[in-house]
Structure 1
Amino acid sequence: MKNSLLALCLLLFPFSACETDLKDGHYTCDPNEPGACPDAWVCQLRGTDGIYRCYESGEAYCQNGMLDPGEICDGAELGEFTCEHGFAICLTNCTAICTECGNGRIELNELGVGEACDDGNTEDGDGCSSNCIIERSYCVVPDSDECLNWCGDGTINGPELCEPENLGGYDCTDFGFHDGTLACSADCRAFDSSQCEGFCGDGDIHDVEVCDGIQQKHLSCWDFYFSGGDLHCDTGCLREFSGCFNSWNRHSVNTTGNIISIHGTDDTNLFAVSFNGWVGRFDGSTWDNEQLAGDPMLRGVWTIAPDDAWAVGNFGTLLHFDGSTWTATTGFESLHLTGIWGSSSTNLYACGFIPGYLLDPNNPESPFIWGVGIILHYDGVDWTEVLRHGEALEEHDVTFLGIHGSGPNDVWVVGPTGQVWRFDGIDWTRVTLPPEYAAWEFWSVYALNPAQLAFSGYKDTYEGFVLQLENDVFTELEIETDVVVKQIRGTSLADLWAVLENGSVLRREAAGWRILAPPLGSRFFSAWNDHPDTLWIGGANGQLMEYTGEFETVSHEFPQSIMRIWGAESDNFYVSGQTGALHHLENGVWNEETPPDGMYIYDLWGPNKDLVMAVGRRGRSALRTNGTWASITTGIEANLTALYSVHGCGASEIWAVGATGTILHYNGAQWVSQVSGSTAQLNDVFCVSPSAVFAVGNGGTTLFYNGSDWTTLNSDTTKNLTAVWGTSRNHVVAVGNDGTIRLYDGSRWNPVESGVGVTLRDVSGTNARNIWVVGTSGVVLRYAGVRFSPVVVPGNPTLNRLHLQPNGRILAAAGYTFLEYRSKLLPRPFVTMECPSTVPLYCQETRSFDTTSLPAVIEDWGTGGNSVTGFNGPETAFTFDAPFSGTVEWKLNPGLTGARLIVLSESAWETCDASTVVALSTTGNDGGQTVSIPVVRNEKYSVVIDAPAAVTGSITSTCTR
């Protein structure tokens, strides 16, 4: 045995003294060599010198990979040892340390465990992370075996945004450019747009832009069916029309033909026809389009009711509509019918001609058409011929082109070469024209009554004309045009509409003809109106437009600048001038009235036209009763304190306010002074009720009267407040200097954005959704339930005062005259809600709304699969125009109990047609109603807020590509 051990000793330790006495850990060994230690002994690494030795038994020891008593760690077993920063490393002596990443040294234990790298910093993205781990996909160039991915390998990894040959699907358009080549930067961490071309804002109009900055392709507001104004370009290079006079509304119909005739009984029963066989029916909200079989050449239409209409045209076309089907009357195929008119369903007339051809002796290859004039009559059963004229060759062109009447015994027909015919209930007779008109081409006639008519056409000098016939006297109305006046319409001889073939529309008033032209260069053929402030016109390529009114200067001019307008009735009101003069309109006549003792009037108000209170300079007051003015003692005359405003809630509940905090109350018998608690100049007062009266003044002063005492309210502004108006004690609006608007909600005044910086001089309205404000520089703002939007006024005059008449029209004082906002649509917002809103909602924007005091209108949204039962509360709406393709989400603020969002598609833009509901949020969730839909660029939507009761809140729009 000892020999064997000696041999082993010599083999293993040739340079050591050989001992034959075995001791634990005395002999070194190789753990990979069999028999390295005696039988039953083990070759193990114990201690910190890294040398394997022979041990008699395999008891617990350091480096056995197990955490034994007394050890902090053992190999990969770290026990409870952790590091706040860096890696935990177990040393070979079973103690542990923490590495310090970023010190520039790669710290490992004796076995090579620890940091994989250390580049002297703790930044990511440079190949060695902040935790000293090799960033295998962050290498810019493949200079190490550790770089599994690198910039240039074609794959977008780690912090890379792109690769030279892989841009991730992006191109120049994603970065606001229109064209060019997008590239990737040298380190793959940024896009290079230096070779991209064209962007919104560079001043050039590119193919995908409609405008850029001031560049509008030489277009103006007129080219987009407005009466005038300034056309702007928004930040998305889309046209912005807020600076245009919003008077024309283009209707979208499904025809490209020439709309040759329009007629209706009112704006809920309107028919239009085109020369290519299209018929449109308008019910007040939508157009129903129908292309008739055979594409007949239609030239006239007349309707008595939605289920009773006639259309006429070439080749004897006579069609009757019974509400569902058009039925033809035959037997007149040799005629070309050009017009139709009727007084009832059993008394209609159609005019036209029998076509023929004559050869021009100077050009036998080019025959020209001529006609024999024809008039047909319908008695409710049959159409019969009642007049034929022009069979003689010397009268070869008596084509009848226009027809109109004022009643069954007053019907007129006109045509070329001075053809004017009249039916008086018995016979048709030709009207003898003055010689100077005998050769003119008559295209249109409009009969106001048997004694007043208007005619239009063009002269033998090819200039357009308008004639009036009043009490058998023809008079030419001067109009400068070298094109045909195709149609003439109006409400009186002093208020006529002339539609010119070149696209111009003129309106005649006392001051002369005024241009209301839609786009120049268009061709118009037809016109119809049922209201003094609306006109429908039809033209080439399916153009169908409705004029709905605008601010217009009235013809009456006063000798002084106007300071105030007020009246209890629409046709009975007062205008006060700058020098205190008082002008009164009654029964259509203006009269100047003299206040008592030369009183200088600042303001006036009354509960009716028979009781009017006026206040003014030096604390004076006057009362008009039974048509007579009389002074009323105020008790402050000696103080010479000016009274600037008066308003009340009845004959015995009238308040006046003025300088140095003065407040007076009229109890029906006398003025009584009240304590205001303020010394500020008070500029306006408004009575909501006898126990809710508001006054405003300089320095942001706002006062409230509760029926017994006046108290001061904090308006949160020091701006001078000039006017106040409200619908209830919880909804009051005050306006003032520098575009200041404040809204009182019953507990505090809240700031409201006006968008202007000028002095706002007056505010008035009819309900919480219809509020108007006027100011200097022609500023007119309208609030429709969401925000104040501008209404452009021609000439930008300084507007002093505002008055809303009972008939819905708006009067605004402007210099030596006043403006009247003429629009048949004005009464509509007072009682209804239309889906389209003038208030846009943009991406990444939050807008406030308040439906308090608004009417509840929409009962049901939809008739099909997307039908929605409307709540009983009021609604409000926003418009949304998608700036790009992607997804848009609309969200209401939390806490709006029961409120929801209804999204309507573009086809419901003007109709509130619920069959076009495209999305609906979930009710019952007060955490914030949300609806999200995919959108395509330039798609339009109406976003309606519907609730069971009035709500005040906000809506947020979020867009993602």
Structure 2
Amino acid sequence: MTQTANPDRRRFFRQLLDGANPNAPQRAAWHRVPEVGAGDGDVLWSGWAGDGEVFVVGDEAMVLHFDGHADAQNRLWKPMETPGNLPLHDVWGPSRDHLFAVGWMGCILHFDGTRWTQQYGGLVDDESQAFIACAENTPLFAIDGNASGHAWAVGDDGMILHYDGHAWQRETSPTYINLRAVACTPNGGVYAAGGEGTVLYRAPDGGWQALDCPLSSGFQAMLVVDDDTLLLGGGRYFVDQGGFRGELVRYANGRFQAIEVDTPMPRLRSLRPYKDGVLIVGDRGYLFYLRDFLTEARTAKPRLYQLESNCHHDLMDIVPLSTGEALVVGDFGTVMTAAPDFINVLAPAVSAASQKPRWEAMDSPTDRQLWNLWETPQGTCYACGEAGTVLRLAAGAERWEPLPAPTELNLHCVWDAGEGGLYAAGQFGQIFRFDGSDWQLHFDLHLDITILSMWGTRPDSIFAVGDEGLILHFDGLGWNRLPSGTASALYHLWGMDDEHLLAVGDFGLVLRYNGREWTDFAAGTENFLYGVWGNALDNIYAVGLSGTLAHFNGQRWNLLPIRVRDDLLSITGSAAAGAYAVGTHGCALRLENGQWLSEPTGTELGLRSVLATRSGEVYAVGDQGTIMRRPVRSA
């Protein structure tokens, strides 16, 4: 008789299989990254990774920069010029050209993509050249920020500083105990933690308050699991043991609970998500992997694995990489990874398999530039472009056919409302509707403003965006202009439903719609964004200028490292086809196993729009009437 495996049996067999897999998180050995430009006496405290680059900060205002290119002295990890010589303890930023590093004597440095400047702290008496005894010189040890660009830094004596997008200001703290960790939540809240079991919370629209933690651990690290669940790590000094003993604490449902583990731990320094679990680092080179905690947070006694590190130096922090791997930094210039090839993990090279041609050119009935693609639920595809061009590909058909042109003006977007008809829009804010035989002018803005993208949920709820911050909404009776709060161009529109829409545009602009109003949702880049797509509210991608590819994970935007510098103009995805992005010079990317890989399309012409169909085929259109097809991929 066959039995369905219950969760415990499945977990048991999975552990057996993983035990034989040297690449499983709890089995892979960690090793030092070669050629790190730090000496044996240097302490590396923290780091930041994004857009194919790594910044590591440490003592003596040290900042090491890695971008895969060696300098004139053949150094891959290049020391950057920074003001002062104060130790830097933590670094955070929404993008590589907007980073903050915090450290000793309240020092806050800012990197604008070109140079580091000092913004706060480090005040010195002019006569004695000694540091002034003042609140602004209070040492800072941790920083974190949210998707809106706000950040918080914490340090000794309960110090809390807030960056509101313009300047740093001190916030009233309910404690004078030293704070060593800070973390932002998806809903706009902020937690801070420190000595003597201190945990503070700041509501999105309120001040700081102390939570009632009955444990007296000295917290050094904190991981936000969700808005109301934390994992805290640290330790306490025990006289009978002659040293620190590491401790893990869970905060959930308003209650703190110590996590019992069988493995002795030293003082813990950092916690980060890692391969479906949590990576933990601590003193004396200890690394641990807490398995399944993120997916099984209610487990009374999670499984803790000690990892092979071959290191005896104190490990200070973990730097997650967008590919799922991570770096660990610490004392004596330590930079470690479990990845066999760090450079390829940071920005994966194109695999040989991805070089096999997968795209094929289709006969096109036009030589006009094509701007946009759309698919109906029935599988019919439409494309539109210059001089009123509208093309149709019936479900199962092999050839595109032209429809009558509704206008001589350029059409930049097309959207099918089912029984509500086919809509096309473009120059001069004009929107046309096709009833199956004839086109009619449906709306005229009477302004020299181009509509660039449309998206809707049903015939009586259609949105359109375009130049000069234009946002329109059709409610079944008429088109109404909505306030956007910007005069910048909005190039593309995507949504999950009427209360979850995103529009992207100039200089990294992202606007978010909640069903009532549009608000800024900064993606952490100043590059123009031309396309946005996702399959869940915590899995959204935006593409743009010079290979910009940003990912929103439900908490914040992260810039992903890819080896493409062409402009990415469109992004799409479906369950059957997967996710794709296209751009200038025939560029195409495919998402595979969490990595964006380049693949040849067979054309050097620009591809302006890409469509992943429900059946699994992918179409791309662009310059000179180009139409490319990627057949259904093999299993």
TM-score, normalised via structure 2 length:
0.42
Structure 1 or 2, whichever has the larger Rg, is 1
Flag the structure with more relative contact order, 1 or 2, with Cα contacts below 8 A and sequence separation at least 6: 2
